[in-house]
Amino acid sequence: MTDPTQPPVNPSTPPAAPPAAPAYQQPAYQAAPTYNGAPGPSATVPGRTLGIVALVLAIVPVGLQLVGLILGIVAMVQSKKAGVKNGMALAAVIVSSVLIVVGIIVGIIVGVAIAGAANDLIQFCVNNPNGVYEMNGQTVSCSSR
């Protein structure tokens, strides 16, 4: 008996060919393994961005060297915990330390110069209570009012 819903089978027709193979696809490769515990090429180094920020703050001549020093130390500690070196953080610590010392020295020199000029004016007025002192093209009177 033949099923009326099925098409008739012709014994002379060859069987249908298997479906065509899909187009060539590139094989999926795994990422290359890392050796010696080193981070992979896409791994981020902890403290690297903070080290860069610290170096920029250490160089900025607005008096932010202390902030740069602190951030540089924090970045070095973060990098050391991860087992990597952070040259930017080290540079930030060195540069900010040197600039802080230079700033302190310059501040002392300026303070001494201002104190010396003030002392000269005081000594002049003590010796000449009714005198007139000329400073930077302006006349200053020593008389007390």
| pLDDT tens across the length of the chain (145 residues) | 556 676 666 666 666 666 766 677 777 777 776 667 655 555 677 888 999 999 999 998 888 899 999 999 999 999 999 888 999 999 999 999 999 999 999 999 999 999 988 887 777 777 777 777 776 777 777 765 4
114 torsion bin: left (phi>0), alpha (psi -120 to 50), beta (else):
alpha
- Three-class HEC string of 33-62: CCCCCCCCCCCCCCCHHHHHHHHHHHHCCC
Alpha-carbon Rg for the chain in angstroms: 41
pTM summary value: 0.57
pLDDT score at 8: 61
Of 61, 60, 84, 88, nearest to 72 by C-alpha is: 88
pLDDT score at 144: 56
pLDDT score at 30: 78
* Cβ–Cβ under 8 Å, residues 50 and 82: no
pLDDT score at 74: 95
Provide the 8-state DSSP code for 103. Answer: H
